[in-house]
Amino acid sequence: MKKNKFSQTWMHEHINDPYVKLAQREGYRARAAYKLKEIDDQDKLIKAGMVVVDLGATPGSWSQVVREKLVKNGEINGRIVALDMLEMDPIAGVDFILGDFREDEVLDALATKLGGAQVDLVLSDMAPNLTGIPSVDAARIDHVCELALDFAAEHLQKNGALLIKAFHGAGFDDMVKRFRATFKVVQTRKPKASRGKSAEVYLLGRGLK
């Protein structure tokens, strides 16, 4: 009964969410598009000619935003590679790889797509399936963040950047420390499109040490 009530409350909030309505009106696949748009307006992450990798991309709203930023005169000036374990409906000009980026064959597929080019920007709006058990969820969140950080450390060019979704709570301070050990500049972002009562926060690292 509690779960059903929670589901009804969530659905009511979701349907009436102004960003959900805006996404539907403007053709974005999820309200998350506005989180990236706001962060990019502030930090100017996405620039013409960039190679961008979108981890955990499905349904594709962040890839949509990146594509918009890279298009000039109808042509994409740059490369976008999206990865996810779930299928994603195609987006014109976005290369999609289905699979788990922890697996060698998926990384090999990415290397083939990139053709030797280094990555300028790694994005990750991934979140694990949560159980409601704080200790378990903290470990799952930390694991997902760690995977994205490891991936970026290996594939970014020296002045590249990583933007990931994290969550305030156990393990967050350690993740910030790991970011600071990896990047010259580390900042946190809480865009307006991120629900106020949500513990989610975005970590931005720029320039590999």
Catalytic residue chosen out of the listed positions 165, 190, 192, 197: 165
Classify residue 98 as exposed, middle or buried by CB count within 10 Å of its CB (0-12, 13-18, 19+).
Answer: middle
Task: Identify whether 165 is a catalytic site residue.
Answer: yes
Q: Encode the chain in three state secondary structure.
A: CHHHHHHHHHHHHHHHCHHHHHHHHHCCCCCCHHHHHHHHHHHCCCCCCCEEEEECCCCCHHHHHHHHHHEECCEECCEEEEEECCCCCCCCCEEEEECCCCCHHHHHHHHHHHCCCCEEEEEECCCCCCCCCHHHHHHHHHHHHHHHHHHHHHHEEEEEEEEEEEECCCCHHHHHHHHHHHEEEEEEECCCCCCCCCCEEEEEEEEEC
Q: What is the 3-class SS of 108-122, one letter each residue?
A: HHHHHHHCCCCEEEE
Catalytic positions, please? 165
